Copies of this chain bind each other. A is one copy, B any other.
Amino acid sequence: MSRPKRAVILLSGGLDSATVLAEASGMGFEIYALTVLYGQRHEIESAAANRVAKAFGVARHVEQRIDLRAFGGSALTDDIGVPKDRDEAEMADGIPITYVPARNTIFLSLALAWAETLGAFDIFVGVNCVDYSGYPDCRPEYLRAFENLANLATKAGVEGSGRFQIHAPLLTMTKDQIIARGMKLGVDYGLTHSCYDPTPAGGSCGRCDSCRLRLAAFEKLGLKDPILYVVD
């Protein structure tokens, strides 16, 4: 019996990355989950990532903390307000205020370092371009460029023992398609967290872009979102 192939999964504890983890697990990979905490306000994500990793019995879950606040520049890292109650047109307009400079590049670089150390060539990431088209580091051309870089950057890539692949299985799925897929794969979305502006105890606001997209998707499926929303 051959050992299962290993994969590194970027796990934020959100809905998307939980689905991606389930997808990689369903493909037979041994899962190494990487959570990068980058000085955002809500380390509640850390707890969610732990719950999801545990639920799927991953081989290992590593957290890396990076202080992106030292650089500044985003709603998720600075103390500027999170926009609320925006409609879909407003959300879709331009690069979101929640854009974090080079975030996915930093995340994928760390995943690459771990993958090479593990002898893994498969990296999974929950990026998605449908609901939220404004993030430059969620586009297919970006992901291809990173894949190219990964194979030039590493001993494993250069020595030809394999080729790194960045898997983004959610890339062209809408939020409700993602949830429907995850339900089939056995994801318990009650373990996940999406809100940009949660209460200290972890309740979701229901009004930021992330909550609104999530709520609308569950509604479209005729399902109730299992997480707790705290209305002002």
CB under 8 Å from chain B, chain A span 148-163 = 148-150, 152-159
Instruction: List B contacts of A153 (CB < 8 A).
Output: 102, 104-105, 136-137, 142, 145-146
- 20 further interface pairs, Cβ-Cβ under 8 Å (given A73-B116, A104-B153): A62-B70, A62-B71, A64-B70, A66-B66, A68-B113, A73-B117, A101-B112, A101-B113, A101-B117, A102-B109, A102-B112, A102-B116, A102-B154, A105-B149, A106-B106, A106-B109, A106-B113, A108-B109, A137-B153, A148-B148
Q: Does A67 contact B (CB under 8 A)?
A: yes
A contact set with B: CB distance below 8 Å: 62, 64, 66-68, 70-73, 95, 99-106, 108-110, 112-114, 116-117, 136-137, 139, 141-142, 145-146, 148-150, 152-159
**Closest beta carbon of chain B to A176's beta carbon, Å:** 28
How would you classify the secondary structure of chain A's contact residues: helix, strand, loop or mixed?
Answer: helix
Residue of B with least CB distance to A38: B113
If A64-B66, A145-B148 touch, does A154 touch B101 (CB 8 Å cutoff)? yes
**Closest 10 pairs (CB-CB, A-B):** A73-B117, A101-B116, A102-B113, A102-B112, A136-B158, A105-B109, A106-B109, A145-B149, A101-B113, A71-B114
Q: List 15 A-B contacts (CB under 8 A).
A: A62-B70, A71-B113, A73-B117, A95-B158, A95-B159, A102-B109, A102-B116, A102-B150, A105-B112, A105-B113, A105-B149, A106-B113, A109-B109, A137-B154, A142-B153
